[in-house]
Amino acid sequence: MIKQVSLKDIAKKVGVSTALVSYVISGKEKDKKVSAKVAQRIRQAAKDLKYQPNAIARSLRKGTTKTIGLVIADIANPFFGQLCRVIEDEAQNYDYVVIIGSSDEDHNKSELLINAMHQRQVDGFIIVPAENTIEQIQDIIQKKIPVVLVDRYFNELNTNYIVLDNYKATFNSTLYLIKSGYKSIAFMAYKSSLVHMMERIRGYFEAMSQSGLTDKINLIELKISNTQNIFENTLNKLLTSDKKIDAIIFANNMLSIAGLHYLHKQNIRIPEELAIIGFDGGDCFDLFYSPITYVKQPIEDIGKEAIRTLMDLIHDGSNKTSHIILNPELVIRNSC
Amino acid sequence: MIKQVSLKDIAKKVGVSTALVSYVISGKEKDKKVSAKVAQRIRQAAKDLKYQPNAIARSLRKGTTKTIGLVIADIANPFFGQLCRVIEDEAQNYDYVVIIGSSDEDHNKSELLINAMHQRQVDGFIIVPAENTIEQIQDIIQKKIPVVLVDRYFNELNTNYIVLDNYKATFNSTLYLIKSGYKSIAFMAYKSSLVHMMERIRGYFEAMSQSGLTDKINLIELKISNTQNIFENTLNKLLTSDKKIDAIIFANNMLSIAGLHYLHKQNIRIPEELAIIGFDGGDCFDLFYSPITYVKQPIEDIGKEAIRTLMDLIHDGSNKTSHIILNPELVIRNSC
DNA sequence: CTGAAAGCGCTTACAG
DNA sequence: CTGAAAGCGCTTACAG
């Protein structure tokens, strides 16, 4: 690493103080009334020396880094991958940079990440909170660092959040299946105390019971840590039971993809033998021999709203709390 | 944003100088022989005050940020998405953070990104270079900032790089098709001066001509900017021509997926009517009714080697140049 | 219109 | 074993 060009080098070359150079470089000449010709010489020198400001020094002085910390729940999940992309792109429009970490749904890892980002003085957080991370979020709030939760939130905490209307998502999906003549509809979800999962389950329950199908309710809850093997055994047991399942709704895309893998392997005909509704979408849903009907989240909007909310918080220091709940879309194809 | 706890606060509370606190916090007590009980009191105070070191200040002082700048070519491409994940995970093992940007194959955007990262004083770069970015890479090298290229490189530049053996990848794929009895094999690629694409094309050409099929060579080159529409028209023209194409090799995963979309829509039976070899893999290849044979890149290895090489460069200041060329794997399924 | 100086929060020789 | 002090590269009142 070679010694880099600093303000001082430019100042020396032009024969002025670093203050002048700083004014010109940061575009404040107008206010400070730096003479046009001095400004010109400074700009020229900066170009000649290929000056690049040291953002670290500026950050230390100004107390702001133009950096956002993004903690997602699972980097292996394409849904979050896409979300990262949107957020990154969007942040760039505001001249912010994003540093990303995956908690892998583990609260210890989450804490490590949040601390590392905090040490790096991020100006704000966007977090997809894992289970048992309430205290971590509380700590951030207490330090008055702007934070917005995404995809999930805690009822106990009055935070900004952007989430899907998860209840509506599964309520509508279930109803759609029922209207299409399916009755014995199973629901595969993760066992979780997190509100998004509970809401998805509630949507399914409500739709079933409101349709007089309470006795057909069949909720399968898997642990996130379960392997594809356990997953397939469970699915196998479900499908070979005497309950005669005629449809399955998967509560997120990891479950959907795992499910499709199994059904594909077993050569179970969709929708003839079994109807399917997936979650979150993706190329595989489109390219499946029988394109999959699924709940589509407005990822673009989620990301944009998250950044917009965070920027409001950072810039206006606004003290309102935003709860933004976005509508799901049921994309209807051939799988049911 | 609330005033944060600093070394000074701890020093004041314990009644020592900030130097002592710094030694203890950064784990240097042994060397500096801070008395055990003072060290203990400092640690306790740090914990009581929930002290988090200010990494920005440390970076400014030490001249290192423990941050890596990662510039990929296209954030929408799942291949790069996965690569980001691997690199991020791997960097974390070394206690480094990654900031990511996508050049979208545009050299202007690439320059903007590299400058922004440079201003943020990244300790090193990992770059998937876009076309016409030689000067940008040269600039980095000249500033003695560690950099390793990934996926592609420039023949004109003596840089560190990690790439697939692209020639072998398509040479073997083409040969595999030929051995399976296919003759009229088309190759869909992007028009590009970049070495990875040219190597993939060369592999195809060589395999065809070595097999006496020179007259069957059929290279389709698309611009990266081409829409799915143009893509489909081209594919349509190709398949309805009197050349009787019996197989297509796609030169990367974007082309593969676009191709599958088209073939799926047109109900072209694979492999009966047309054999297919894809590139890079993914769930859609697995879940396609006729699972797709494809060239698999060792993404995990690419990412790990990139980080390892960069860490060597940063830490040992090693002045050797690494050219790492990894082997492709042809994953054989049912599409040909 | 311009400059001297303080200070952001650290680390690290140096002196004792 | 401990402290005073310089300095990383900026920005920004303040004074002229």
* Residue among B57, B59, B115 minimizing CB distance to A52: B115
Beta pairing, strands A329-331 & A323-326: unpaired
User: Quick one: CA dihedral B41, B43, B45, B48, positive or negative?
Assistant: negative
Q: Identify the CA nearest to B249 among candidates B190, B294, B211, B207.
A: B294
Q: How far apart are CA B164 and CA B83, in angstroms?
A: 13
Closest to A323 in 3D by CA, of A143, A169, A80, A154: A154
CB of A112 within 8 Å of any CB in chain B? no
CA distance B284 to B43: 53
Q: Do residues A151 and A314 touch, judged by C-beta distance below 8 A?
A: no
| pLDDT at residue B30, rounded to an integer | 66
Task: Find the CB nearest B52 among A50, A75, A118.
Answer: A118
User: pLDDT band at residue A76, thresholds of 50, 70 and 90?
Assistant: confident
Q: Is B118 on the interface with A (CB under 8 A)?
A: yes
- B1 pLDDT band, cuts 50/70/90, is low
Give the single-character DSSP code of A216: G
Q: Is A77 within 8 Å of A253 (Cβ atoms)?
A: yes
Taking each helix axis as running N to C, give the angle between helix A134-142 and helix A107-119, from 0 to 180 degrees, rounded to the nearest 10. Answer: 20
**Longest CA–CA separation in chain B, Å:** 89
- What is the share, in percent, of chain B residues with pLDDT greater than 90? 84
Distance from CA of A105 to the nearest CA of B (A): 15
Over residues B210-243, the pLDDT tens digits come to 999 999 999 999 998 888 899 999 999 999 988 8
Q: For residue A97, what is the nearest residue in chain B, using CA coordinates?
A: B99
Percent of chain A with pLDDT over 70: 98
Q: Which nucleotides of C are covered by protein (CB under 7 A)?
A: 1-5, 7-13
Q: A-chain residues within 8 Å CB-CB of B97?
A: 99, 101, 116, 120
Encoded tokens for A36: 């046009």
> Would you say the C-beta of B60 is within 7 Å of strand C?
yes
Amino acid at site B271:
P
pLDDT digits (tens, 9 = 90+) for A95-152: 999 998 889 999 999 999 999 999 999 999 999 999 999 999 999 999 999 999 999 9
CB distance A208 to A214 below 8 Å: yes
Q: Is a pLDDT exceeding 80 seen at residue A272?
A: yes
Residue B193 phi/psi, 5-degree rounding, is -85, 0
| B145 Cβ under 8 Å from any chain A Cβ | yes
DSSP lists the bridge partners of residue A220 as: A188
Average pLDDT (A236-246) is 90
Contact yes or no for B76 and A99 at CB 8 A: no
Q: Is the pLDDT of residue B31 over 70?
A: no
CB neighbours of residue A145 within 10 Å = 22
Give yes or no for residue A5 having a pLDDT over 60. yes
For the purposes of burial, counting CB atoms within 10 Å of the CB of A255, is it exposed (0-12), middle (13-18) or buried (19 or more)? buried
pTM score, whole prediction: 0.92
- Distance of alpha carbon B255 from alpha carbon B267, whole angstroms: 18
Alpha-helical segments (H) within chain B: 7-14, 18-25, 29-32, 36-48, 55-62, 78-93, 107-119, 134-142, 166-179, 195-210, 228-240, 253-265, 283-287, 299-316
Residue B28 has pLDDT above 60, yes or no: yes
Q: How far apart are CA B181 and CA A220, in angstroms?
A: 48
| Statement: residue A32 has pLDDT above 90 | no
How do residues B250-298 score in pLDDT, each as one tens digit? Answer: 999 999 999 999 999 999 999 999 999 999 988 889 999 999 999 999 9
Mutate which: A112, A283, A316, vs B, most B CBs within 10 A: A283
| Residue B91: pLDDT over 90 | yes
CB of residue B55 closer than 7 A to nucleic acid strand D? no
pLDDT above 70: percentage of residues in chain B: 98
Strand D closer than 7 A to residue A34 Cβ: no
